[in-house]
Structure 1
Amino acid sequence: MNENTPAPAPSAAVTGMVDHVLALAATWTRWDGEPAHADGRLHTPHKAIRRVADHLVDHLAEMEARLAGEDPQPDHWHASLITTGADLAPFTPQDLDEARSRLTRLARVWANRLDALTDEQLDDSPGEGWSFRELARHLTESAYYADAVGDLS
């Protein structure tokens, strides 16, 4: 994106990230069971979906708490530091269906919430932390997990 191209709306940034993740996930039923190595960590299809979903849930909880005038509850997830046994399971067509349902619904919750906020609320958000516009931009970084697994076509 060049400086003359406007940034996408926050809701479009989040839904676009999820679309990107799911496009890659559509190729993961071919996964051979060998984790990808990136940045000193292991990455698998299930782990990528888990991390994207956790990131969406974590920051949604943060945003809702801040809008309610509360301090956000800190998360205690192990994030990408660990790879669970479930992360190593084969990624089946049924897993893809579940991922599509889960991530699409989470993206819609985000889009609906962000679209309901005014520009002032997006840019001058209550509480400590990034503005909600910046938070939406930060969520796009979740694509990293899917990109680490890659396109397995």
Structure 2
Amino acid sequence: MAHTPAAAVTGMVDHVLTRAATWTHWDGRPARIDDRVYTPHKAIRRVADHLVDHLAELEDRLAGAEPLPDHWHASASTTEADLARFTDEDLDEARSRLTRLARIWADRLGALTDEQLDHSPGAGWSFRQLAQHLAGSVYYADAVGDLHRADAEGDPSLTTR
């Protein structure tokens, strides 16, 4: 089944939020993957930053402007805030933030013609390719993982929800 570019982005956000729903049980130990450190807060931050960064690129290119380079340190940087406990309130904020960003992406991509999606203005990936690139942001959430599953593996009395 072929996915639309909008579905690629919204599906990624759905996947991230499904993972994030298990993170309120995080034990505070960062995951170490590919010489990087990942935590629940860092995963949410990276997904949001990725969506914002490429949305700015898309909008600049549609407006005929040169996109501003980003100066984020990406996943190489782990902040003190990234190491904080991930609470139900954090999950609620993540749902609000990422759902709104996914909606903006879906609306914007849905308004573009196939021609605009495949032969996008300016330098860089086509907007269709950009949406597929964003879909890869599941990496950050998958690096943290499904912590209900980890709980269940560590304690047979716990079950996944």
Matched, 1:57 2:52: yes
TM-score (norm 1): 0.96
Pairwise CA RMSD: 0.5
How far does residue 86 in structure 1 lie from its aligned partner after superposition?
0.1
Match of 2:72 among 60, 77, 83: 77
Match of 2:38 among 31, 34, 43: 43
CA distance in 1, matches of 2:118, 2:73: 30
CA distance in 2, matches of 1:115, 1:41: 35
Q: Give the length in aligned residue pairs.
A: 148
Residue aligning to 1:13: 8
Deviations 1:48-95 (A, max 9, x none): 000000000000000000000000000000110011000000000000
SS of 1:144's equivalent in the other structure is helix
SS of 1:37's equivalent in the other structure is strand
Q: What letter matches 1:116 in structure 2?
A: A
Match of 1:97 among 92, 101, 104: 92
TM-score (norm 2): 0.91
Rg bigger for which structure? 2
Q: Structure 2 stretches of 5 or more lacking a match?
A: 149-161
Provide runs of 4+ in structure 1 moved above 6 Å: none
Q: Structure 1 stretches of 5 or more lacking a match?
A: none
Identity over aligned pairs, percent? 76
Residue aligning to 2:154: none
CA distance in 1, matches of 2:120, 2:74: 26
CA distance in 2, matches of 1:78, 1:70: 24
